[in-house]
Each structure stands twice: as C-alpha cells, then as structure tokens.
Structure 1
C-alpha cells in the first residue's frame, strides 16, 4: 500500500523543481543514468508496454551530434550540458509483449495495426519520459526537456537501422540556478478541473 512521501521529497520532485537551461560543472555518470532507469522503468505503461527507448549522450561527441539536430537556442544548451537524453519510442513494442505482459495474448491486440501501435507508443513513451524527469529529480539531478529539434535528423543519426522514433529530448545534470527564468504561472485547480 502506498504511503505519503515527505514534504521535502515533494519539494524536490515537484514544488521546487525547475527546468534548467544550464548546469554546474559536475559530471553525470553511467551510475547516475542506471539509477534513473531503474526508477523510471517501474512507472506504469499500458499492458506493461515499455515502448520507451533511451539514448544517453554522455560523451561530448554524442552531445555535439545531438546538438546538430536541434534548433533555436537548444544546440549550445545540449553541448554544454553534462549529459543529454533522447527519449525515443518503439512502434513495434508489441513484439516484446509475450514476455512483458504474459497474462494475455497482448501482442495480438496490435498485430497488423501500425496506427494503433504508434498511438500507444507515443502515449506510453511520453509517460516514460515524464518518469525520467521525476526519477532524475529524485536522485538529485535536474533536467531541461525540449522539443526544438529535427525529428527526422535525430532518427537518422541515432536510430538508423531500427524502427525507433524520437519523442523528445532533454539535457541532464546538476542545475545552475542562474540559468532559470522566473517560474511561469501555474493554474489554480478551478481553472482546468471539473469534479463530477
């Protein structure tokens, strides 16, 4: 049974957490990213689909290659960050359902229906991308998720030879407070919620 977490933990994950445009000069290691993945993989996806495919860019070469796929103000952010992450998706996730969801013949739900698979891959990899952000914050790191990039170029550069597609990308590291803007408005409950 779930139990409430502390107010301090809620501050770390939600209330005080921010999207960062720059980071402190502290490394992100493979140990960090493995800790993040071990947490994010526990988040729920429909029928345990796990369509998310992650490319962790720790080397300068990989970050530079990703930066070349981005636009606007994003390339320098990616190049300077300790790490960057491509949150991708596998539209053929259903091929793994026999072992990921052994309770039913879930693979047959998606056979021959690529449009339905893409919809599920996008929805559930987006969830996994959100779990990535929460997991990173939970272990003391910060993120800078972004969507200003050339998806076709990212797919060609990082997912060649596969059917994987990029969903969004993010920087990762120990955030530099000097690089954030004032917090944008957050709507009150009454603005966008209905209780029936």
Structure 2
C-alpha cells in the first residue's frame, strides 16, 4: 500500500497553489518543458486515447500571433508570461489507437465512424490532460494561469489552419509574482457539491 504524500506536497499542488496573473521574467527552459510533458503524459485517459496536443508559445513572434486571438483582459498577462501553452485536441486522435490501445481491434473504428462520440471524447479527455499539465507544472515548481478568454476560431485559424486540431484552453506558465494575485476565492463545501451513497 502506498503512503500519502507529505503535507508540503499537498500545499504545493493544491492548498497553497494559486492562479497567477503576473510572472517574474525568469524563463522556462526546454528541459523543464520536456520534463513537464514526461510527467503529464502518464495521466489516464479513456481507452488511453490521449487526444491533447500542446503548443508551447514562447518566442516574441509566436506571442504576437497569439495576441489578436485573446480577450482584452488576457493580453497583457499573456504577453508578460514566459510561456503560454495552447492545450488543443486532435479531432482524429483515434488514428493512434491501434498502437496506444491495442487491446481492442475495433477501437479506431468506434470513433472514426461516430463523429459526435469522437468530438466529446476528444474534448473531455484533452481537458483532463490539460489539468494534468497544471498539476505537473505545480509539482515542478512552476505557477500556472489557465484561461478560456480567447477567440477559438481566430486561434485555430492562426495555429491550426488544417482544422485537425482545435483549441481547448490556454495556460500561462512561469514563476509567479504574487503581487498580481487577487484575493483567493472561496470554495464550495462538501455538502454543497457532493454526497456519499
């Protein structure tokens, strides 16, 4: 049986973690990005479908391409963040199922022949994988600022013009500056959102 992780880990991953709006200028290097992916990729998805695709936007040129797709309130903080991740979904994720889920001979066709099932599966599981990205980033000492304030059609046209990938949400990453944080919002109590049957 595994032991529970330490309180320090719980603090870093959940209890003291915040959504950051400001970041220090310290860059996020390639080695950290690769380690981040190596952690998050092990999070479970249904039928091991792994539909999320990631674009790590760091260069000045790439950030400029992102600017006109953002809601006005997200422009300054995204331009100042060392790194912004576009978490997208591959609408044809099922093409990888023969190698990623070999236990089922018809896994690919299940989705290839049902567009709505493929869409909902891609959206649900890419969202889940984006959450794994956030948690892995926190465990590596990074701070995160997830956002949904952007024009998906503009972003998809700019970064995914062939239409196969579709943006889900964005995450600013870096080393946070707490001066830019809002007061922490409350959370709903257990009995407001859950029950044990």
Stretch of structure 1 that moved more, 127-136 or 70-79 = 70-79
TM-score when normalising by structure 2? 0.97
Q: Give the SS at the match of 1:42.
A: coil
- Unpaired runs of 5+ residues, structure 2, are none
- Cα deviation 1:79-102 (Å, max 9, x = unaligned): 111010100001111110000001
Q: Separation in 2 of the partners of 1:64 and 1:4?
A: 44
The offset of 1:19, in angstroms, is 0.3
1:14 aligns with 2:36: no
- Cα deviation 1:58-113 (Å, max 9, x = unaligned): 11211221122101210111111101010000111111000000111211221211
The offset of 1:8, in angstroms, is 0.2
- Cα deviation 1:29-77 (Å, max 9, x = unaligned): 1111111100110000000000000000111211221122101210111
Q: Give the SS at the match of 2:70.
A: coil
Stretch of structure 1 that moved more, 15-24 or 105-114 = 105-114
Q: How does 1:96-175 map to 2 (within 5 A)?
A: 96-105=96-105, 106-175=107-176
Where does residue 90 of structure 1 map in the other structure?
90
The size of the alignment, in residue pairs, is: 196
Where does residue 194 of structure 2 map in the other structure?
193
The offset of 1:143, in angstroms, is 0.7
RMSD over aligned CA atoms reads 1.0
Q: Separation in 2 of the partners of 1:59 and 1:183?
A: 31
Q: Separation in 1 of the partners of 2:15 and 2:51?
A: 29
The offset of 1:3, in angstroms, is 3.1
Q: Is the 8 A contact 1:22 1:81 kept in 2?
A: yes
Q: Separation in 2 of the partners of 1:2 and 1:161?
A: 45
Q: Separation in 2 of the partners of 1:54 and 1:35?
A: 14
1:58 aligns with 2:58: yes
TM-score when normalising by structure 1? 0.97
The offset of 1:177, in angstroms, is 0.5
Q: Runs of at least 4 residues of structure 1 off by over 3 A?
A: none
Q: Give the SS at the match of 2:72.
A: coil
- Unpaired runs of 5+ residues, structure 1, are none
